[in-house]
Amino acid sequence: MTMTLHIDPTHLLRPDFIWGVATSAFQIEGAADEDGKGESIWDVFCRQPGAIADGSDGRIACDHVHRLDEDLDLIASLGVDAYRFSISWPRVQPQGWGPWSEEGLGFYERLVDGLLARGIRPFATLNHWDLPQVLQTQGGWMARDTAHRFVDYARGIQRCLGDRLASIATHNEPWVIAILGHEKGIFAPGLTSRAAAAQVNHHLLLSHGLALQALRADGASAPLGIVLNMSPQEPATDSPADRALARLQDGHGLRWYLDPLLRGRYPDDAWTDLGRDAPRMEATDLAAIAQPLDWLGINYYTRNVVSSAGPWDPVAHGLPVTDMGWEICPDSFHALLTRLHRDYALPPTFITENGGAFPDPVQADGLVHDQDRIDYLRTHIAAVVRAAQEGVPLAGYFVWSLMDNFEWASGYAKRFGIVHVDYATLARTPKASARAYRDALTRWRVGARA
Ligand code: IFM
């Protein structure tokens, strides 16, 4: 059955609730080596045979750098309050330290000014995974020095753009950088060491805390936060083995970040489990990490069902999945939000990413009728509204993603956009979900402000 997108009942969200769309630099920008841009670890990783499913890379991506004005108009046409994007560190500081690129900074100035001119709030993320390759050759996030380089980079961005940004996030999804990039080897830089991943996790958190301290000392005006990917770890059965494993994975995946950020300590169970692979740290690190957060970002896509018998496949259990094979479960989203607030008393919290990849065939009329995505967004936004009603301090919601883009190791085959991108022509065509989102926001505003 066709159902449109309703955000209802309207009064359960604060009237200044922010609705947005999100992207990241490497996934959309292209212009990979123009204007003196340095290489990032993802430029290098894409050249490794077999690293990317379709053998693609980010050299052109959505060609956003060359289509900035068109994309700004596209964002405005959606009627959103805010646009979440990331800054490519090697575009603005090609070596990761030292000289800045005027052209690179100029691009982000045009982006930010173009958003403000259209009445859209710029939400910037400093690190959405594309570390300068020069820093990787010096140890990357395994090296403590990279945390200090990151602080310099953050200060430079604030000097240039800080007065115009509505929000600054330090990192996007440190778990992905550490675990997928350094333990499982399926994301850049492609390493396979549990000890390396643990050290990377620590340095990412440390750099976050040091950056917050430095930005505040410099007089930050934009609210400062960090974005975490969170999947509730749910035991497959009630057996003690499944429950214990789910609890441990909760320690590694959720509490590993929230405990140091909000409580100033690492969780005992995950720390003990790491044994000799636990990170090396200095005496003041935990205090540095636990800086007050102006806001927290949560990215939610799916739950993770944990079975001591081995990997658990939702398809084998007849459950609905997206094109990524990720189970569609909005109830777990609601449960996650209420549990996190119960356990941590969350600061103002944004859903900084939520969305789904679907096959999205272009129909005979030239359009994409992505009812499956509309249903995904409808049920997940309802979960957000329900959590807000129960007291979770939710301040905004961003759809992932504005447009189809480079989905990392999956290449261009997986489409998350509410705007379709034809990779042969780079034409952008809003999907049915884009119209549904815009219309839902219009209706919500009328109700919320009535
Ligand atoms: O595309 C990614 C994004 O870069 C980070 N969060 C998850 C999305 C979907 O996989």
Closest CA to 2 of 301, 433, 383: 433
Ligand 1 nearest-atom number relative to CA 355: 9
What's the pLDDT at 167? Answer: 98
- Whether the CB of 400 sits within 6 Å of ligand 1: yes
- Quick one: tokens of 224? 């400062």
The CATH architecture annotation of domain 18-449 reads Alpha-Beta Barrel (3.20)
**What pLDDT is recorded for position 449?**
66
Q: Are 223 and 295 in contact (CB under 8 A)?
A: yes
Question: CB of 420 within 8 A of CB of 368?
Answer: yes
Do the Cβ atoms of 99 and 93 come closer than 8 Å? yes
Q: Is the CB of 360 within 6 Å of ligand 1?
A: no
Among 414, 271, 438, 275, residue whose Cα is nearest residue 355: 414
Q: Choose which residue among 353, 380, 414, 418 to substitute to test ligand 1 binding: the one with the highest number of ligand atoms within 8 A of its C-beta.
A: 353
Ligand 1, atom 4, lies closest to the CA of: 24
Helix (H, G, I), strand (E, B) or coil at 223: coil
Helix (H) or strand (E) holding 366: none
Residues of each annotated binding site for substrate? 27, 128, 172, 301, 400, 407-408
- The H or E element that residue 35 is part of is none
Closest CA to 202 of 254, 93, 137, 279: 279
Minimum-distance ligand 1 atom for the alpha carbon of 410: 10
Q: How far is the CA of 357 from the centre of ligand 1 (A)?
A: 10
Q: Which is nearest to 91 in space by CA: 127, 59, 132? A: 132
For residue 77, the model assigns a pLDDT of 98
Q: Give the model's pLDDT for residue 1.
A: 54
Which residue's CA lies nearest to atom 9 of ligand 1? 407
Phi, psi of 305 (to 5 degrees): -90, 130
Closest Cα to residue 43, out of 24, 28, 62, 58?
58
> What are the 10-residue block averages of pLDDT along the chain, 450 residues in total?
68 90 99 97 98 98 98 98 99 98 98 98 99 98 98 98 98 99 98 98 99 98 98 98 98 99 98 98 98 98 97 97 98 98 98 98 94 97 95 98 98 98 98 96 83
Instruction: Please name which of 50, 55, 208, 68 lies closest in space to residue 127, comparing C-alpha atoms.
Output: 208
pLDDT tens-place string over residues 320-367: 999 999 999 999 999 999 999 999 999 999 999 999 999 999 999 999
Q: What's the pLDDT score for residue 12?
A: 78
Virtual torsion, Cα 128, 54, 47, 420, nearest 10 deg? -40
291 lines ligand 1 (CB under 6 A): no
Strand-pair category, 82-86 with 18-22: parallel
Instruction: Give the number of other Cβ atoms within 10 Å of residue 441's Cβ.
Output: 19
For residue 10, the model assigns a pLDDT of 59
What gap in Å lies between CA 185 and CA 414, rounded to an integer?
20
C-alpha to C-alpha distances, 89 to 115, 152, 364, 429, 431, nearest whole angstrom:
20, 11, 41, 29, 31
CA of 341 from ligand 1 middle (Å) equals 24
Per-residue model confidence (pLDDT) at position 446: 85
User: Could you count the other beta carbons within 10 Å of the beta carbon of residue 144?
Assistant: 17
Question: Residue 130: CB within 6 Å of ligand 1?
Answer: no
Ligand 1 proximity of 173 Cβ (cutoff 6 Å): yes
Q: Just list the catalytic residues.
A: 173, 353
Rg (CA), the chain: 21
Q: What number of other Cβ atoms are within 10 A of residue 54's Cβ?
A: 12
The per-residue pLDDT for 345 is 98
Strand locations in 33-96 (E): 82-86
Predicted TM-score (pTM) above 0.75: yes
176, 276, 364 from 252: Cα distances, Å:
12, 15, 47
Measure the CA–CA gap between 448 and 106, rounded to whole angstroms: 37
The structural domains of the chain, with segments of one domain joined by +, span 18-449
